[in-house]
């Protein structure tokens, strides 16, 4: 992973060598791969290992998406309490830029974001806890993304924010002048201004991913 695709709106930090940090609510996890002449094997989820990283939620639903065109953007999404979701995201085909935005009311990092490239090649995963909006943009055609959720889908609790909200200002890695491929729903998500967040602050500010 290059530093250019490991970004943040947290000022004064240099993001390069990413690791899972137990004191940061959003975590970049790099499962170890064991290789030989046949290929490699990796453990993508282990309850005890993840608990040691500060990820102790119980996952109850797995999702899988395919995005055909390059620069397809999905987000920014969340599910409101009492049906809020922790998510563990990985890309199993292609490359994506994955983003988490702090939307916890009263947080000193409210509206700030972090993002990282996830790919089939690097095997990295991003853990996005309750209280953060999530989105990603694909960086090449035919990307497949899977993610684990700590609650099942609840349409009545579904929410979102605009992908290009200037108050959030995610630095999406789009070509100059390129508008991403969006669903009609994501093209009309509301802005952060006037957003009445249903998520309380838990005392852990958003930090860098490295």
Separation of alpha carbons 129 and 108, rounded Å: 17
Q: Would you call 147 a catalytic residue per the annotation?
A: yes
Q: Would you say 102 and 197 are in contact if contact means Cβ atoms under 8 Å apart? A: no
What's the start-to-end Cα distance of the chain, in Å?
12
Parallel/antiparallel/unpaired status of strands 39-42 and 143-149: unpaired
Question: Which member of 7, 110, 134, 147 is catalytic?
Answer: 147
Q: Which residue has the tokens 């852990």?
A: 204
> Catalytic: which of 7, 77, 110, 134?
77
Q: Identify whether 134 is a catalytic site residue.
A: no
Query: What Å distances lie between residue 123 and 93, 120, 178, 188, CA to CA?
Result: 10, 5, 27, 32
**Backbone φ and ψ of 157, nearest 5°:** -100, 0
Which residues are designated catalytic?
77, 147
């Amino acid at each position: 992973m290059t530093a250019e695709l490991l970004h943040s709106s947290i000022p004064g930090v240099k993001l390069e060598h990413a690791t899972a940090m137990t004191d940061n609510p959003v975590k970049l996890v790099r499962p170890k791969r064991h290789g030989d002449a046949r290929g490699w094997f990796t453990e993508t989820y282990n309850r005890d290992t993840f608990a040691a990283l500060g990820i102790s939620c119980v996952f109850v639903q797995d999702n899988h998406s395919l995005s055909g065109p390059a620069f397809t953007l999905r987000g920014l999404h969340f599910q409101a309490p009492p049906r809020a979701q922790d998510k563990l995201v990985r890309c199993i085909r292609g490359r994506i830029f994955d983003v988490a935005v702090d939307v916890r009311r009263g947080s000193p990092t409210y509206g700030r974001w972090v993002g990282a490239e996830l790919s089939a090649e690097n095997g990295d995963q991003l853990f996005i806890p309750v209280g953060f909006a999530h989105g990603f943009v694909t960086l090449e055609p035919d990307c497949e993304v899977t993610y684990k959720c700590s609650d099942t889908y609840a349409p009545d609790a579904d929410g979102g924010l605009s992908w290009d909200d200037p108050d959030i200002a995610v630095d999406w890695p789009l070509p100059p002048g390129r508008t991403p491929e969006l669903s009609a729903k994501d093209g009309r998500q509301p802005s952060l201004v006037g957003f009445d967040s249903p998520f309380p602050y838990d005392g852990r500010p958003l930090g860098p991913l490295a």
